[in-house]
Amino acid sequence: MRPVSHVSGIHFLQIPGPTNVPERVLRAIDRATIDHRGPEFQRLSLEIACLLHPVFGARGPIVIYPSSGSGAWEAALVNTLSPGDRVLMAETGQFATLWSRIATRLGLDLDMIPGDWRHGADPDAIGERLAADTAHAIKAVAIVHNETSTAVTSRVAEVRAAIDRAGHPALLMVDTISSLGSIEYRHDDWGVDVTVAGSQKGLMLPPGLAFNAISEKALAASRTARLPRSYWAWDDMLESTRTGWFPYTPATNMLYGLREALHMLDEEGLANVYARHARHGEATRRAVQGWGLELVALDPREYSNSLTAISVPEGFDADALRATILERFNMSLGTGLGKLKGRVFRIGHLGSFNDLMLAGTLCGVQMGLDIAGIPHGDGVTPALAQLTNPAPALALSR
């Protein structure tokens, strides 16, 4: 028998980002590049600006960088802070940790609230730190809305309320890289000063675009901030983007894709998008319960609807399970990151995703558990029961 060199069927990309890019977005990207100083590009840029604001829940300016989300992290910090400024962060997982490293490398004074990677940012702990900071040395609070390494969603509105109760003037910065376009988010209503986002998850694009949504308070802080900045400078970007241009060469083809993705979100309606992700999150958690495995997230208020992180039993290797599933069923699952390496696998269920795709994903995991010899019950049946229940009535207004 000849060795198999071709795998038939589609690859199931069920990592929590980059996510599956829908055909409409791929076809939009697959266009000839245009003059980024011409009128067609200007119309493209201004249309995107209008479509972006509802997704962020923001009325103020949104800057788009050709970069990964890490660039947007750095931009948030360098545009608002000065050397030696203190930043309060919460250790909620690998990505909160990585953001804190950027802050340290920039010469900021990091105040990290320790965490167990199973809970989100603690509003009470943040409020206590701020109440004790009577000199207002803390200039910013930076948290991750949806921690991609743990599938824990922090309660941003409660963090904002804690800051307000403390009467503290610190800026609030929020990473929404794995929540924007998947989990309800309200930049303005929640009093966020800088929202960080990326293109490769709920926005259904390849990696390559990053975003900062900016409040008036953050803009005011940028006028006196003294951290060095050039590529990331908001003033250059804002001066150009107000009229539909960029201060340097933009990622034109990615912007074609972004416009198409935003049209898709608008056509479905954001309320329906959030409801769909909530159904898929609940169905996946029911599967985990049926399998007899354990979620990383401990607080039901903080369960993520865009991905699920699952611990394997003691004595088993999560990465070996992932390798088995990839080899046998051509499906990629997310690895455990940082201190969760080898102990956790992650199922992404965000972006361009439907019930049948989730059913196939959960069947693949259950078959993989069988092959790997990991003790488990039936998780597929309770998940399918959730998916076959009538979906909530669609929201007709957007």
pLDDT tens string 187-199: 999 999 999 999 9
pLDDT of amino acid 228: 97
191, 156, 196: which is closest to 67 by C-alpha?
A: 196
Cis peptide bond N-terminal to 300, omega within 30: no
Please report, for the domain that includes residue 234, its CATH number.
3.40.640.10
Give how many domains the chain has, as a whole number: 2
Instruction: Look at residue 6 and tell me if it is in a domain.
Output: no
Instruction: Look at residue 88 and tell me if it is in a domain.
Output: yes
Is the pLDDT assigned to residue 124 strictly greater than 90? yes
Q: Over range 35-39, report the average pLDDT.
A: 95
* Enclosing H/E stretch for 374: none
Confidence of residue 48 (pLDDT cuts 50, 70, 90): very high
Q: What is the pLDDT of residues 315-351, one digit of tens each?
A: 999 999 999 999 999 999 999 999 999 999 999 999 9
pLDDT of amino acid 213: 98
Q: Over range 127-156, report the average pLDDT.
A: 98
Looking at the fold, whether 222 and 354 belong to one and the same domain comes out as: no
Looking at the fold, whether 312 and 259 belong to one and the same domain comes out as: no
Domain limits for position 105: 23-266
Task: Measure the CA–CA gap between 368 and 293, rounded to whole angstroms.
Answer: 14
pLDDT of amino acid 389: 83
On whether the CB atoms of residues 296 and 118 are closer than 8 A, the answer is: yes
Phi, psi of 346 (to 5 degrees): -125, 135
Instruction: Show which of 245, 266, 287 is a domain's final residue.
Output: 266
Q: What is the pLDDT of residues 220-270, one digit of tens each?
A: 999 999 999 999 999 999 999 899 999 999 999 999 999 999 999 999 999
pLDDT of amino acid 2: 57
Residue with tokens 């954001």: 270
On whether the CB atoms of residues 366 and 379 are closer than 8 A, the answer is: yes
Looking at the fold, whether 159 and 277 belong to one and the same domain comes out as: no
Looking at the fold, whether 262 and 321 belong to one and the same domain comes out as: no
Is the pLDDT assigned to residue 5 strictly greater than 80? no
Confidence of residue 277 (pLDDT cuts 50, 70, 90): very high
Confidence of residue 395 (pLDDT cuts 50, 70, 90): very low
Confidence of residue 398 (pLDDT cuts 50, 70, 90): very low
Q: What is the pLDDT of residues 107-123, one digit of tens each?
A: 999 999 999 999 999 99
Beta bridge partner(s), residue 175: 144, 196
Instruction: Show which of 214, 231, 266 is a domain's final residue.
Output: 266
The pTM of the full predicted model, rounded to 2 decimals, is 0.95
Looking at the fold, whether 228 and 255 belong to one and the same domain comes out as: yes
Looking at the fold, whether 180 and 254 belong to one and the same domain comes out as: yes
Confidence of residue 359 (pLDDT cuts 50, 70, 90): very high
Task: Measure the CA–CA gap between 222 and 156, rounded to whole angstroms.
Answer: 23
Q: What is the pLDDT of residues 142-159, one digit of tens each?
A: 999 999 999 999 999 999
Instruction: Look at residue 147 and tell me if it is in a domain.
Output: yes
Task: Measure the CA–CA gap between 261 and 52, rounded to whole angstroms.
Answer: 10
Instruction: Show which of 214, 238, 266 is a domain's final residue.
Output: 266
Within the chain, residue ranges assigned H as helices are 23-29, 39-56, 69-78, 94-105, 123-132, 156-166, 216-222, 234-241, 252-268, 270-291, 318-329, 355-372, 380-388
Confidence of residue 7 (pLDDT cuts 50, 70, 90): confident
Task: Measure the CA–CA gap between 354 and 359, rounded to whole angstroms.
Answer: 9
Q: Over range 68-94, report the average pLDDT.
A: 98
SS3 150: coil
Please report, for the domain that includes residue 339, its CATH number.
3.90.1150.10
Is the pLDDT assigned to residue 394 strictly greater than 60? no
On whether the CB atoms of residues 214 and 172 are closer than 8 A, the answer is: no
Is the pLDDT assigned to residue 205 strictly greater than 80? yes
Confidence of residue 4 (pLDDT cuts 50, 70, 90): low
| pLDDT averaged over every residue in the chain | 96
Task: Measure the CA–CA gap between 299 and 187, rounded to whole angstroms.
Answer: 24
Looking at the fold, whether 186 and 260 belong to one and the same domain comes out as: yes
Is the pLDDT assigned to residue 396 strictly greater than 50? no
Residue with tokens 């005011």: 220
* % of the chain beyond a pLDDT of 90: 95
Residue with tokens 């990505």: 95
Instruction: Look at residue 353 and tell me if it is in a domain.
Output: yes
On whether the CB atoms of residues 297 and 151 are closer than 8 A, the answer is: yes
Tell whether residue 346 is among the known ligand binding residues: yes
On whether the CB atoms of residues 172 and 204 are closer than 8 A, the answer is: no
Task: Measure the CA–CA gap between 16 and 306, rounded to whole angstroms.
Answer: 8
Looking at the fold, whether 74 and 175 belong to one and the same domain comes out as: yes
129, 121, 167, 93: which is closest to 338 by C-alpha?
A: 93
Instruction: Please provide the DSSP assignment of 219-264 as one string.
Output: HHHHTT--S--STT-HHHHHHHHTTT--SS---HHHHHHHHHHHHH
Confidence of residue 393 (pLDDT cuts 50, 70, 90): very low
Looking at the fold, whether 206 and 316 belong to one and the same domain comes out as: no
Taking only Cα atoms into account, the Rg of the chain, rounded to an integer number of angstroms, comes to 21
46, amino acid identity: L
